[in-house]
Amino acid sequence: MDHSKSVAGAAAALACVFAVSSAIASEPDAQVRTEDIIFQDLNLTTTAGIDALYKRIHSAALRVCAVSEQAELGAASASSDCTKKAEMRAIEKLNLPALTALAANR
């Protein structure tokens, strides 16, 4: 069996239930927010597929770490840190070398 296809298949199966999660530490009673990232439609053996997956992870991280417009300045910094950490956790959990390499170069 082609190794790249089996890795992509396993990752796609995992991704159906994969969630990016994070919380902003400065938020009282911070709840962990999650968002499912579906990517079984992507071909993870191609650069375009990996790029599309990275964009989905980044977008989900931005959404789960978003702060309200009324938040104080410190919360915006915490949101940025939250986004980076959420992306890192998602990428580490998926353990796809091409995705890790792409994220390292961004």
- Residue pLDDT tens, the chain, 106 long: 444 444 444 444 343 333 443 344 444 445 677 888 999 999 999 999 999 999 999 999 998 888 655 556 566 667 788 889 999 999 999 999 999 999 999 8
| The predicted structure's pLDDT at residue 53 | 97
| Number of domain units in the chain | 1
Query: Which residues constitute the domain of residue 93?
Result: 3-104
Which of 85, 69, 100, 70 has the alpha carbon at shortest distance from 25? 85
Q: Say how far apart CA 102 and CA 52 lie, in whole Å.
A: 11
Please say whether the beta carbons of 61 and 34 come within 8 A. no
